[in-house]
Amino acid sequence: MNRTVNTRRFSRRLGRALETHIVLPLFALLPLVAIWIATFHFIAVEREGAIAAARDEARKQVDTYEAQVVRSLTAIDQTLKVLKYAVEQHGPDVALDKLRGQGLLPPALVFVAAIADRDGHIVASNPGSAPHDVGAERYFTVHRDGATGAPFVSETIADRIKPEHHLHFTRRIDDAAGGFAGVAIVEVDPAYFTSAYERSRAGERGLIGLIGNDGVARALRVGDKVSWGQRVALERMHDDAIDPYPTAPDGVRRFASVRRLHGFPLAAVTGLAESEEMAQYRDRRANYLVAAVAASALLLAVVGMISAWAWQLSKARRRERRAQETYAAASEASLDAFFVLRSVLDEDGKVVDFLVEETNSRAEQVTGIPKEQLRGRLMNELLPFYRVNGMFEELVAVVTDGKAVESEWQAATSPAVGRWLQRQIVPVEGGAVATVRDITERKLAEERIRHLAHHDELTGLPNRSLIRDRLDQAVLNAQRNGKHLALAFVDLDGFKLVNDGLGHSAGDELLKVVGRRMGACLRRNDTLGRLGGDEFVILLPDVSGEALALTPVLEKIRQAVTEPVLIGDQAVQVSCSMGVVMYPRDGEDPKTLMMNADAAMYRAKDLGSNNFQFYTREMNASVEEKLMLLEGMRKAFDATQSGAPAAGQAGHFFLMYQPKVDLRTGRIFGVEALIRWRHPEHGMVPPPRFIGLAEESGLIVAIGEWVLRTACRQARLWVDAGLDPLTVSVNVSARQFEEKHLVERIAVALRDTGLAPGALELEVTESLLMRDLHQAIGRMRELKDMGVSLSIDDFGTGYSSLSALKSFPISTLKIDKSFVRDLATSADDQAIALAVISLGHRLHLRVIAEGVETEEQREFLAANECDEMQGYLFSPPVPADAITAMLRAQLQPAEPA
Ligand SMILES: Nc1nc2c(ncn2[C@@H]2O[C@H](COP(=O)(O)O[C@H]3[C@@H](O)[C@H](n4cnc5c(=O)[nH]c(N)nc54)O[C@@H]3COP(=O)(O)O)[C@@H](O)[C@H]2O)c(=O)[nH]1
């Protein structure tokens, strides 16, 4: 794996290294180097040639100059020898005349010929000059003091007689005895020796000159300028010029040569200025360099341009490749199948088919054809059915109109048969790109969500919204077709007992079984739905207008429901109350039909349950009555809250208190607060008529809080009045108990009224606690922690589990009055009462019996160690003042019997 990756990486790098924009500049280095090697080679050759030419020219120059100088010096020496001979033959005084006569004197314009006697006096000269003495001059003394026979050449000097600088060439004249007789002199202008300077050959800075063997220049000419007297290092000079070096008189580098002149203490010197000799070479070198630079620049420019272009191209290719790779990777990883399709046109330019240019692996799964086989094939061959399922037309529309389209369909062919697919077709240049996505899961999820939104989760039956939909639809159909339909509201009787007693899961199981049974009684196009709780609805969309014709099916349903249901190992039995309406007889719209069915169902309940009732007009009265009652309650509550009503004032709520008595002492130890409502028109409304409605509407929370605060306030008044300590009991309904701020509300009521928590008792029913046992216990504990006591009201009527009872933080059990009523006569009731007393005591609870109306009942209870009692025997519920009076009476010492 790693090796493959490395190999791929290496070949990618190699490929990149071999790309034109890298290779081309590298190759361009070769001609570049060649250009410069050739250039420097030619320059070197040129230089060698130029140096050789300069050396050659310098040699020629020195040869020519040497020859000229030798000729001049020979002529001068000849003159000196002639002068010497003439003096030795004819004496100094006539020697010159003799020579002049013979025409042997050199031209006076160029040379001055003179004779000095042995004392140094110039005795004759040509041309003539004033007599003067040269005895002290070196060109004289050198001969006088030495017997040299060689000619002497003086330095270039100026003297009194001849102010222009000149050279003295001298030879010794001997007398007959060989003694010193004087000196023959030839004076020469130094320019004479440099007149051979040819500008055409020597240039402007060429050099010619005559240098004494003493190294002092006798005559030097550079260009037009003649000079003398400089010191010239002859020892550095070669006969023939080799390399240029700085030379006198100006330090200019020259190809310089020297020739020692035989017979004279002189050397002929020439030089050609390097700058001039090499000028041509330099020009050529410059030309070569310019040409090389131009060629290089051109080469670099061309290579640079090509490389830049190639680089851009390679960048673009790389980008394209990367995009392609990314696209390929993304499309391979995509969950969508995609097809890049090219339009295939006929001669008239009409789209007749599509060619698959590109696709991905996912397409294999959708089409069942390997992607290699898909590429380059016509859609007509691959998926012939695309002509019949509308896809072809869709593709044509997309490429023609240039607008993307999206559609969903359920595949009818393999391999995706039955699956939901979604296609999206987007126009591109020359064709279209189609993506196909499998949306089966989404469709199923949507279906599930739709089902959940319209069905009851527990039973799977249509829920309220679907029932409403179907009812709407059924009413419309019936309206349109002049038909009838029936709607039945079904409420289970006794379901609450099962649910509260055996727990919610038992209740759920019961609902499912009953639902199934009712469903089994219906036809296919009937609808059974669940409204919630134990309420079901049956919609019979196509029935005759005769209500009685429905009786068989309704009876069948009723019987099916009443069949025992086995839950775990326990058989439970419920029945149902049904309210039935018919369209259009009982209502022309769904809302009215539902309302009336509900009213009929309540009538069935009122009539003792386990029956069905057809709706009649009179039933609505009870619904209206309910609404009126609710309205009246709201008004009464508002009125009660807005001011302290006098006890029993019409249109108000007020409290009555029923004493609770200790069975052993006969003393009042507490009171139960009981709400009363005097209706302005209907007089006293008994609590069982409005407490349930208040519970249903939620008004009980506010009313209950008012009861609590009023009872606490009253209890505090009794405390303040110095009466016997008293516990006030307040009934708490289910909705109130479950309200999340209950504990807080009680705490605030106690704080506001100043009543000690221990003086308050809350009465809750068994069934209330069993609705949510866990939460109920938690809440009871909070209350107990606060110091408030709790008692279980109506004990024995519910399905308290004994193990749950054990964990209730309660202080009292209240035996329901239904067991007290026949206590004197019913053995069963006696047994129940005894069992409750015994159970309570075992759990260390106090037991109170309510509804004690007779002395027999009291005696039985007292005899069986019931702790407390409450009932008309002692006192019915009475206003607070009456309780005050009773408590005051209780304070009085008992009168002797
Ligand atoms: N949530 C609330 N419920 C309340 C409140 N006030 C009352 N109620 C509940 O209403 C039900 C009926 O109450 P009521 O009509 O007040 O009847 C009570 C007594 O008058 C009655 N009673 C008392 N002694 C006797 C008797 O000897 N014989 C007889 N036939 N009836 C008698 O019993 C009712 C008290 O019952 P209980 O509460 O179970 O102790 C009733 O369920 C009340 O709880 C309220 O403010 N809030």
Asked if residue 2 has pLDDT above 60, the reply is: no
Total domains in the fold of the chain: 4
Q: Residue 1 — very low, low, confident or very high, per pLDDT cuts 50/70/90?
A: very low
Measured distance CA(185)–CA(176) in Å, rounded: 20
Q: What is the DSSP letter of 666?
A: -
Predicted local distance difference test score (pLDDT) of residue 6: 65
pLDDT digits (tens, 9 = 90+) for 503-532: 899 999 999 999 999 999 999 999 999 998
Residue 35 belongs to some domain of the structure: yes
Asked if residue 4 has pLDDT above 60, the reply is: no
The verdict on 364 and 321 lying in the same domain is no
The verdict on 526 and 645 lying in the same domain is no
Q: Is 733 in the pocket of ligand 1 (CB under 6 A)?
A: yes
Q: Is 851 in the pocket of ligand 1 (CB under 6 A)?
A: yes
Order of strands, sheet of 266-273, starting from the edge strand that comes earlier in the sequence: 225-227, 217-222, 207-212, 266-273, 252-261, 245-247
Predicted local distance difference test score (pLDDT) of residue 408: 87
Q: Residue 728 — very low, low, confident or very high, per pLDDT cuts 50/70/90?
A: very high
The verdict on 200 and 106 lying in the same domain is yes
Residue 468 belongs to some domain of the structure: no
Asked if residue 434 has pLDDT above 60, the reply is: yes
Asked if residue 800 has pLDDT above 70, the reply is: no
Q: Is 792 in the pocket of ligand 1 (CB under 6 A)?
A: no
The verdict on 93 and 172 lying in the same domain is yes
Q: Is 84 in the pocket of ligand 1 (CB under 6 A)?
A: no
Q: Is 871 in the pocket of ligand 1 (CB under 6 A)?
A: yes
Domain that holds residue 553: 479-617
Tokens of 745: 């509300």
Reported ipTM: 0.95
- Could you tell me the CA-to-CA distances from 619 to 540, 606, 607, 613 in Å, in that order? 22, 11, 12, 10
Question: Ligand 1 centroid vs 329 CA: distance in angstroms?
Answer: 79
Measured distance CA(311)–CA(305) in Å, rounded: 10
The verdict on 66 and 130 lying in the same domain is yes
* Closest protein CA for atom 15 of ligand 1: 687
Q: Kindly state the average pLDDT of the residues 735-739.
A: 88
Q: Kindly state the average pLDDT of the residues 35-54.
A: 91
Measured distance CA(491)–CA(604) in Å, rounded: 9
pLDDT digits (tens, 9 = 90+) for 701-716: 999 999 999 999 999 9
The verdict on 265 and 355 lying in the same domain is no
Predicted local distance difference test score (pLDDT) of residue 814: 93
Which range among 115-129, 592-606, 806-820, 864-878 has the greatest average pLDDT? 864-878
Measured distance CA(264)–CA(877) in Å, rounded: 175
Q: Kindly state the average pLDDT of the residues 725-742.
A: 92
Asked if residue 799 has pLDDT above 60, the reply is: no
* Closest protein CA for atom 18 of ligand 1: 674
Q: Is 731 in the pocket of ligand 1 (CB under 6 A)?
A: yes
* Closest protein CA for atom 20 of ligand 1: 877
Residue 12 belongs to some domain of the structure: no
The residue with greater pLDDT, 673 or 373, is 673
| CATH code of 505's domain | 3.30.70.270
The verdict on 324 and 379 lying in the same domain is no
Predicted local distance difference test score (pLDDT) of residue 897: 42
Q: Is 674 in the pocket of ligand 1 (CB under 6 A)?
A: yes
Question: Ligand 1 centroid vs 792 CA: distance in angstroms?
Answer: 14
Residue whose tokens read 């020739």: 259
Question: Ligand 1 centroid vs 509 CA: distance in angstroms?
Answer: 34
Question: Ligand 1 centroid vs 688 CA: distance in angstroms?
Answer: 8
Question: Ligand 1 centroid vs 675 CA: distance in angstroms?
Answer: 8
Asked if residue 896 has pLDDT above 70, the reply is: no
| CATH code of 421's domain | 3.30.450.20
* Closest protein CA for atom 6 of ligand 1: 674
The residue with greater pLDDT, 540 or 896, is 540
Asked if residue 263 has pLDDT above 80, the reply is: yes
Question: Ligand 1 centroid vs 686 CA: distance in angstroms?
Answer: 9
Q: What letter represents residue 539's amino acid? A: L
* Closest protein CA for atom 13 of ligand 1: 687
Question: Ligand 1 centroid vs 496 CA: distance in angstroms?
Answer: 21
- Of the listed ranges 2-16, 353-367, 792-806, the least confidently predicted one is 2-16
Q: Is 872 in the pocket of ligand 1 (CB under 6 A)?
A: yes
- Of the listed ranges 527-541, 621-635, 718-732, 834-848, the least confidently predicted one is 621-635
- Mutual angle of helices 440-454 and 464-481, in 10-degree steps: 80
Q: Is 659 in the pocket of ligand 1 (CB under 6 A)?
A: no
Confidence (pTM): 0.43
Q: Is 858 in the pocket of ligand 1 (CB under 6 A)?
A: no
Q: Which of 586, 617, 648 is where one domain is finished?
A: 617
| CATH code of 727's domain | 3.20.20.450
Q: Which of 281, 307, 333 is where one domain is finished?
A: 333
Predicted local distance difference test score (pLDDT) of residue 865: 96
Residue 292 belongs to some domain of the structure: yes
The DSSP H or E segment spanning 9 is helix 2-17
Q: What letter represents residue 614's amino acid? A: F
Asked if residue 56 has pLDDT above 50, the reply is: yes
Q: Residue 93 — very low, low, confident or very high, per pLDDT cuts 50/70/90?
A: confident
Q: Which of 556, 589, 617 is where one domain is finished?
A: 617
The verdict on 291 and 352 lying in the same domain is no
Atom of ligand 1 nearest to the CA of 655: 46
* Closest protein CA for atom 14 of ligand 1: 687
Asked if residue 149 has pLDDT above 60, the reply is: yes
Q: Kindly state the average pLDDT of the residues 424-449.
A: 88
The verdict on 342 and 329 lying in the same domain is no
Q: Is 27 in the pocket of ligand 1 (CB under 6 A)?
A: no
Residue 289 belongs to some domain of the structure: yes
Q: Kindly state the average pLDDT of the residues 286-302.
A: 91
Residue 155 belongs to some domain of the structure: yes
Predicted local distance difference test score (pLDDT) of residue 184: 94
Q: Residue 258 — very low, low, confident or very high, per pLDDT cuts 50/70/90?
A: very high
Q: Is 658 in the pocket of ligand 1 (CB under 6 A)?
A: yes
The string of DSSP letters for 342-395 reads EEEE-TTS-EEEEEEEEE-HHHHHHHSS-HHHHTT-BHHHH-GGGGTSSHHHHH
Cβ atoms 615, 586 nearer than 8 A = yes
Question: Ligand 1 centroid vs 869 CA: distance in angstroms?
Answer: 14
Pocket test for ligand 1, best of 658, 661, 674 (most atoms within 8 A of CB): 674
Asked if residue 649 has pLDDT above 90, the reply is: no
Predicted local distance difference test score (pLDDT) of residue 409: 84
The verdict on 860 and 877 lying in the same domain is yes
Asked if residue 361 has pLDDT above 70, the reply is: yes
Averaged pLDDT score across all residues of the chain: 88
Predicted local distance difference test score (pLDDT) of residue 621: 60
Q: Residue 796 — very low, low, confident or very high, per pLDDT cuts 50/70/90?
A: low
Residue 624 belongs to some domain of the structure: no
Asked if residue 274 has pLDDT above 50, the reply is: yes
- Could you tell me the CA-to-CA distances from 838 to 815, 833, 841, 865 in Å, in that order? 12, 9, 5, 9
Q: Kindly state the average pLDDT of the residues 536-548.
A: 90
Asked if residue 894 has pLDDT above 80, the reply is: no
* Of the candidates 788, 798, 780, 776, the residue with the CA atom closest to the CA atom of residue 748: 788
Predicted local distance difference test score (pLDDT) of residue 413: 76
Residue 467 belongs to some domain of the structure: no
Q: Is 840 in the pocket of ligand 1 (CB under 6 A)?
A: no
The verdict on 751 and 725 lying in the same domain is yes
Predicted local distance difference test score (pLDDT) of residue 755: 97
**Residues contacting residue 790 through CB under 8 Å, at least 6 positions apart:** 761, 762, 763, 764, 780, 783, 784, 808, 809, 810, 811, 812
Question: Ligand 1 centroid vs 875 CA: distance in angstroms?
Answer: 13
Measured distance CA(467)–CA(454) in Å, rounded: 8
Predicted local distance difference test score (pLDDT) of residue 653: 94
The verdict on 38 and 139 lying in the same domain is yes
Question: Ligand 1 centroid vs 816 CA: distance in angstroms?
Answer: 11
Atom of ligand 1 nearest to the CA of 687: 10
The residue with greater pLDDT, 489 or 829, is 489
Q: SS in 3 state form for 825-889?
A: CCHHHHHHHHHHHHHHHHCCCEEEEECCCCHHHHHHHHHCCCCEEECCCCCCCECHHHHHHHHHH
Atom of ligand 1 nearest to the CA of 877: 20
Count of C-beta atoms within a 10 Å radius of residue 782: 16
pLDDT digits (tens, 9 = 90+) for 752-776: 999 999 999 999 987 677 667 788 8
Pocket test for ligand 1, best of 731, 732, 861 (most atoms within 8 A of CB): 731
The string of DSSP letters for 475-489 reads HHHHHHHT-EEEEEE
